[in-house]
Amino acid sequence: MATRKKTAKSKTRAALKKSARKVIKLSSARKNAAKNASKSAKNGNGKSSNLPKPSNKPYGQAGLALQGVRILDFTHVQSGPTCTQLLAYMGADVIKVERPGAGDVTRGQLRDVPNADSLYFTMLNGTKRSITIDSKHPKGMEILNRLIKTCDVLVENFAPGALDRMGLTWDYIHKTNPRMIVASVKGFGPGPYEDCKVYENVAQCAGGAASTTGFREGPPLVTGAQIGDSGTGLHLALGIVSALYQRIRTGRGQKVLCAMQDGVLNLARVKLRDQQRLAHGPLTEYSQYSEGVPFGKAVPRAGNDSGGGQPAWLLKCKGWESDPDAYIYFITQAPVWEAISDLIGEPTWKTDPDYATPKARLPRLKKIFARIEEWTVTKTKFEVMDICNAVDIPVGPILSMKEIAEDESLRKTGTVVEVDHPTRGKYLTVGNPIKLSDSPADVRRSPLLGEHTEEILKDVLGYKAAEVAEIKNSGAITPPEKKEKAA
């Protein structure tokens, strides 16, 4: 077993190294296209390639993956900010445009520390720069125009039509900067609901997740994982990176649209699979089947059943009476059935025709899991984890957020990161869940409202000191009450 695991690990390492070699540094591609073309190397097949020669720098010291990409970040709340935070972690310069005096509404939502930006905001806007601009002020629009000319991607998740109402239509942006990629999250794609405003749980419901989550006897259920907001933000990030890649060939930008309903459906696709399977008979891996309950016309809620072909269930562990998270998710993967039978003290199940094959077990799943639970309930979830994994039985402890926050291994990998904030102090954030071997994640605290306004006006947009003073006086970057004073 050890040898098998070692071989798999070294194969993964080799694959990672191989894919890292293929990483394209967009900044170099943009700035040095001509230079790179002349330096073009031969690829593995001996054909000429437009990639620069492989860098000699040690892995992790050749810059960040999205270095040189500049994002005009018009996002708010969760879906859009998830996307742009990830791009910032990957090295993009993300300039978050916020309304003067107010900013992203989440700065003030679910506040735990008085007068400090909320965790809602700080955990979704790390590594970004903040500039305040009133987009409805003529001078504000002038600044935005300069940003449009200098940025690679505009990302927004306003309600349908809001960007157009600002005057920032696709035609206008494309004319101002033909290379600009305009990426949007909306609740629904084109169709009867396209004009609707949408929040997380609306998307979970409309994307098919809620109708298939929960227990059969209960109502539809939304899940705590933000598959509508953060899930769609992730989809958008992939769309943006793909559009950046295509732009290397075409030289032009394009629109990227992710509807939250579509994003949720993509994540719930196994349930659309099951909907089609229903036409050919009952879903035999659902515990409903083993309980003899007939199926209706639509995919039912399946409680804690596995969504795949290996029957599974959530089982109590030692301490469940007082600890709401003392549970383990237990998968009866067919190849390890013998190990499971031995472990729980039912060795005859290895050969008994009623239990020996996956098909024979299907109508008996309830009884089987009840028997396995008699064993798991005598152990803690971590003991079950250790014992089962030693013989390759896939199980998962139910980890509380407290346990995750305190987990040393997640800190070591940078998946959970502690950052320091000037007004709220230290807080935990989720780092980059995507690990690139040649691009370390750049995880930093979120910006204060307008913290980088002056810096961006001068360094990115080239305004002189006198012009910055004039902009300040105009009221385009200051909250309304200051505007009145300025007037």
Binding site for ligand CAO (CB under 6 A): 77-80, 97-99, 133-136, 157-159, 162, 165-166, 185-187, 197-200, 229
Write down the least CB distance from residue 140 to ligand CAO, Å. Answer: 7
- State the catalytic residue, choosing from 229, 262, 305, 438: 229
Which residue type occupies 113? V
* 325 catalytic per annotation: no
Handedness of CA 222, 201, 79, 115 (dihedral sign): negative
Residue 30's φ and ψ, nearest 5 degrees, are -75, -50
Tokens describing residue 307: 């969504």
Give, in degrees to the nearest 5, the angle at Cα 369 between 366 and 374.
125
Distance CA 232, CA 243 (A): 16
Q: Could you identify the residue written with the tokens 């649209």?
A: 257
Write down the least CB distance from residue 463 to ligand CAO, Å. Answer: 18
Write down the least CB distance from residue 163 to ligand CAO, Å. Answer: 8
What's the farthest any 2 CA atoms get from each other in the chain? 88
Beta carbon nearer to ligand CAO, 147 or 388: 147
Beta carbon nearer to ligand CAO, 239 or 311: 239
| DSSP-assigned letters across all residues of 79-94 | HHHHHHHHHHHTT-EE
Distance CA 95, CA 65 (A): 17
Beta carbon nearer to ligand CAO, 143 or 395: 143
SS3 for 376?
A: helix
Beta carbon nearer to ligand CAO, 180 or 260: 260
Distance CA 239, CA 156 (A): 13
Write down the least CB distance from residue 333 to ligand CAO, Å. Answer: 37
Closest CA to 299 of 202, 201, 211, 228: 211
Which residue's C-beta sits nearest to ligand CAO?
159
Closest CA to 331 of 304, 355, 354, 295: 304
Beta carbon nearer to ligand CAO, 308 or 480: 480
C-alpha dihedral over 280, 285, 288, 293, to 10 degrees?
40
Write down the least CB distance from residue 214 to ligand CAO, Å. Answer: 21
Distance CA 290, CA 135 (A): 60
Closest CA to 244 of 26, 468, 80: 26
Beta carbon nearer to ligand CAO, 18 or 197: 197
SS3 for 464?
A: coil
Write down the least CB distance from residue 132 to ligand CAO, Å. Answer: 7
Beta carbon nearer to ligand CAO, 26 or 198: 198
Q: How many CB atoms lie within 10 A of CB 227?
A: 22
Beta carbon nearer to ligand CAO, 159 or 465: 159
Write down the least CB distance from residue 371 to ligand CAO, Å. Answer: 43
Tokens describing residue 75: 């996002």
Which residues, other chains included, contact 6 with Cβ-Cβ below 8 Å and sequence gap of 6+? none
Tokens describing residue 328: 């383990």
Write down the least CB distance from residue 153 to ligand CAO, Å. Answer: 16
Q: How many alpha carbons fall within 13 Å on the CB side of residue 225? A: 9
Tokens describing residue 121: 């905001």
E strand spans, 366-468: 395-397, 416-421, 425-430
Q: How many alpha carbons fall within 13 Å on the CB side of residue 108? A: 6
Write down the least CB distance from residue 297 to ligand CAO, Å. Answer: 31
Tokens describing residue 463: 């305004």
Beta carbon nearer to ligand CAO, 186 or 247: 186
Distance CA 377, CA 314 (A): 11
Name the residues annotated as catalytic. Answer: 229
